Amino acid sequence: MMNSNYLTALKSLCIKEVNRFLRIWVQTLIPPAITMTLYFVIFGNLIGKRIGEMSGFSYMSFIVPGIIMMAVITNSYSNVASSFFSAKFQRNVEELLVAPVPNYIIIWGYVGGGVIRGLLVGFIVTCVSLFFVELQIFNIFALLLSVLCTSILFSLAGLLNAIFARTFDDISIIPTFVLTPLTYLGGVFYSIDLLPDFWQTVSHFNPVFYMINAFRYGFLGIADVSLLWSFSMIGSFIVLLYGLITLLLRKGVGIRS
């Protein structure tokens, strides 16, 4: 059982992170809803009418899970990356390093804030989607587990980015040149069955593909790969990133100067 002092520290760090993005909710919660609404209008209504069906469902129904997941990924990542780097930049991360709490408390405190923001934005985008399509839920367990694991994974990825970042520009490089391509090539707007064999194989090296695959299964009951394999891959990436971040914090990489 977790030490009560550690639990208090974890709760305090999570509350601080949540309050941080709620204070500026107009900048953190509203823009994703507006952006995703544009996706629904342009890709769902306008382009979707020309495409027709995808995997036996209307195109709008097919892309909704991917668009929701895209919002969760982006916001989970950016929340932790910006927050932890700001702590480094303002030098108050040193207060955490000298505090009598283990590194895993620091990690999960920041990740907790990222997860809450990611899930909150995901809920908002889901509510927006109801104006465009009638959602159905095939497997609530797969749906909730996939969105939670995805939010955790990209919160960890944001923390990793912040650890190595030296300037604010470094925070935007990874989302622009890595995160965005992975998301768009992860099957948000198409089924990989439409791709040539070579690109289908390449898609299986994209972690986002497994997240969207599992999340779409939760809504529609269709999947390009087995649900077990998707969750195995997501879990493996979480363990890998968590282990790497723990090692980096222990060595003080990117923090101690």
Instruction: Determine the Cα–Cα distance for residues 106 and 82; give it in Å rounded to an integer.
Output: 15
**pLDDT per position as a tens digit, 206-245:** 899 999 999 999 999 998 889 999 999 999 999 999 999 9
Best CA proximity match to 160, nearest among 247, 233, 51, 98: 247
State the average pLDDT for the chain.
88
Residue 47 buriedness (CB in 10 A; 0-12 / 13-18 / 19+): middle
- Cut 0.85: pTM above it: yes
Q: What is the mean pLDDT of each run of 10 residues along the chain (257 residues)?
A: 79 92 92 89 77 84 92 94 88 76 91 96 94 89 96 96 86 83 85 84 89 94 91 95 93 73
Question: If we measure between CA atoms, which residue out of 73, 75, 248, 82 comes closest to residue 170?
Answer: 82
Domain coordinates in residue numbering, the chain: 4-41+57-251
Distance CA 77, CA 56 (A): 32
Is residue 83 within 8 Å of residue 229, measured between CB atoms? no
Taking only the tens place, the pLDDT of each residue in 146-177 is 999 999 999 999 999 999 888 888 888 888 88
**Confidence (pLDDT) at 84:** 92
Please tell me the distance from the alpha carbon of residue 129 to that of residue 63, in angstroms, as a whole number.
10
Beta strands in the chain (DSSP E): 53-54, 57-58
Q: Half-sphere exposure of residue 163, counting CA atoms within 13 Å on the CB side?
A: 21
